Amino acid sequence: MMHTPAVIAALLLVSFLHGDVSAKSTGPYLSVRDHNKDKNASKWPTRTVYLTPDAQNTPLDAAVAHLRPPPPRVPPIFDIFVGISAFRDGWRCGQTLLTAFARADHPDRVRFGVVDQVHASDETCIDSYCKMAMEKWTNDTRCRHRDQIKIDQRAADESRGPTLARHFQQRLVGDEEFCLQVDAHSAFTRHWDSSLVVDWTAADNEMAILTTYIHNIANHINADGTNKLASQSTHLCQTKRGGSNNVRNVGADLLFHSKRPQMQALWGAGFSFGKCHAEKRVPVDSHTLWMFDGEEFQRSSHLWTYGYDLYSPTPHGMMVYHNYTAVPAKFYQLSAATSAARGIEQERANNRVKFMLHIPFQGQVDAEELDVYGYGPVRSIDQYLDFAGVTFAPNQVDTQSCHQLHWVPYANPEAVETLLPGWKMLPVATEPAAIVAHFLRQDVVQNDPVFVDGRKPSNQGSRGVAGVAGFVVVAGLVGGIFYATQDRARPSQHT
């Protein structure tokens, strides 16, 4: 049966966006399970979700399917900043620094910034590291790499939770190209610095952030520090409500046969790697005191609305592992944590988040510097909630994001274009087809009843069908233009 060029183009788009069924057995897939730890609760069965990451940077909306995120920019020589916020964890923090320097391909290009929250009697992170360094490099007369470590030492009694510490941590970032955040109790493997950049580059997105809940140290690192490479990576896609009804991640699901970073909607605090311009452009809110549940959702939503995209790494990008044994101390065990002041500070912080999300609340709120720590101007918070499958509507539950996600073009690309001179999200329309596509896009947004206030519906299936329908119309117009003008022998300028 003969197909018109428009139908062929539509079929190709469907195949490209949704993948070939025959490839499911060998392609990447998620094993999504019920993370409910209540033994008395009924659980839904673990399900398999097949993915098509080769299409993830292609928007679902066919009218803008030619758009792509900015390509990665990797200079030939670069430094990596590693940020750590430690709480009374000196020995393990020192071990983290030691494995990073000892196992990097270019240790001279690694810089650390450590917010070390300690009591006066505690061994500090830097003292612990230098003691280990002198034992490892016995010929050195001084602590090797000491001048590559910035320390912001603070009294543990003044701690107000991880977000305030990470706010101070961001101040330690210098002119490094890449920034990595890990917990103070992590272990690096050989070639981690080179391998992380290779995996990040594979996302094909300058605004990519690799992030996940990393595997346990046990059984993943050889005695010589080489990486055993896990047979699967981890992927964040489920949410629930935690303390103060804040959104929090629910564990991590396993991702099999991952060959390139997999787009996701959520961010994990224990492993985050990307360009340092993210740390400089998207500040951690210093007014969310005592917040633990809710920290990661706030970070993911802020990064995304500033134009960043989150991806889980492949096994080749999981070059750092986590020590999941009990921490020696916790910030909420402080005497200040049981004081009356904590209750007020925590109420103000939680209500601050609700205020920014337009959720009703009662009580006091910290409304200072909302212009500094609000959501970004590139994509809206409503777009993010739709993307992440998170809802605050009464009597509704989160739909989650455990499926193939697709890049969402910037509603306001100017901020990213200013950051990246020479890159423009919207190419110059030099073809009649491009002009037609532009006006078709405007008509769909303004007149299609499935759009509300210019925002796409939450059902990705509906978006896919509407997108393909739009693509068929555009393809038909393109085909007509092509046949009408082919005698001109003019080369195509489509982007």
Beta strands, E only, 6-148: 29-32, 47-50, 80-87, 110-118
Pair of tokens at residue 290: 């005592």
Distance of CA 216 to the CA centre of its chain: 20
Three-class secondary structure of residue 371 per DSSP: helix
Distance of CA 425 to the CA centre of its chain: 20
Domain boundaries, the chain: 80-338+353-419
CB 474 within 8 A of CB 62: yes
Residue 442's pLDDT is what? 39
pLDDT, block means (10 residues), the chain with 495 residues: 42 42 71 82 88 98 97 98 98 98 99 97 98 98 98 94 97 99 98 99 99 96 96 96 91 96 98 99 97 95 99 98 82 64 92 96 96 98 98 94 99 98 84 44 36 35 40 39 35 34
CATH 3.90.550.10 fits 80-338+353-419, yes or no: yes
Residue 326's pLDDT is what? 80
Residue 213's pLDDT is what? 98
Pair of tokens at residue 203: 């996302």
pTM: 0.82
Residue 152's pLDDT is what? 99
Residue 333's pLDDT is what? 62
CB 179 within 8 A of CB 279: yes
DSSP 8-state assignment for residue 426: S
